Structure 1
Amino acid sequence: MDNIFKEKPTLQEYFATSDGTKFYTESMAKNHSKTLEDKTVTHVVRPAEESAKETAADIIAKAPEMDLETANDYLDSETSLEKPRKSVVQALEKRIEELEKLEE
């Protein structure tokens, strides 16, 4: 699996330029590619099997190691579900609270 999809669990696609730089929008990638010899922009989509929902146990186990941005991404993804898993939401909210206290 592409590392950016691990780092950004809610990301479904990105655009990569020939120098390996990744962008969230095609227009930004095309603009950057103008500065390169090879102006190719590749559209990369998250593979379907990687889009499958992680188990609650997997997410809860990873929560203590998450940084603030990752925890927020996971929480946003979870709360956008039709039926968010309470245990996952609680674990993520706890981790976010811990990280925000550290930033103070």
Structure 2
Amino acid sequence: MARPQKLTHPLYELLVNEDVQGFNNLCSNYESIDFRGGDFRGLNLRGLNAQGIDFRDAYLRSCDLRGIDFREALLEGASLNKAQISGCYFAKHLSAEEILMSITAGTRLRRCV
């Protein structure tokens, strides 16, 4: 597994600057948003429209993700270590145990069916 990295995507720059509203305003201009392997450590992403975003293998350590709907996002391999997830929606295939292990132990999310 590759180390998390800074991405060159213009929408990634908005999130790194915690401009979630600007991101949400522009994301509909993209057919797909590929944030695979991205480093999002410690960001406040509350209010993010995550629909269709590819967060596979992303590093979301210590992020404020409260209230985000991840049901239509790809999260396989992502790490949620110490992230705040109150009020989040996750895909049905991710068990509560899987999510808790990622938050407390830093394990990567798997596609559990």
TM-score normalized by the length of structure 1: 0.32
Normalized per residue, the structure richer in helix is: 1
Normalized per residue, the structure richer in strand is: 1
TM-score normalized by the length of structure 2: 0.30
Considering only CA atoms, is the larger Rg found in Structure 1 or Structure 2?
A: 1
Q: Which has the higher contact order (CA 8 A, sep 6+)?
A: 1
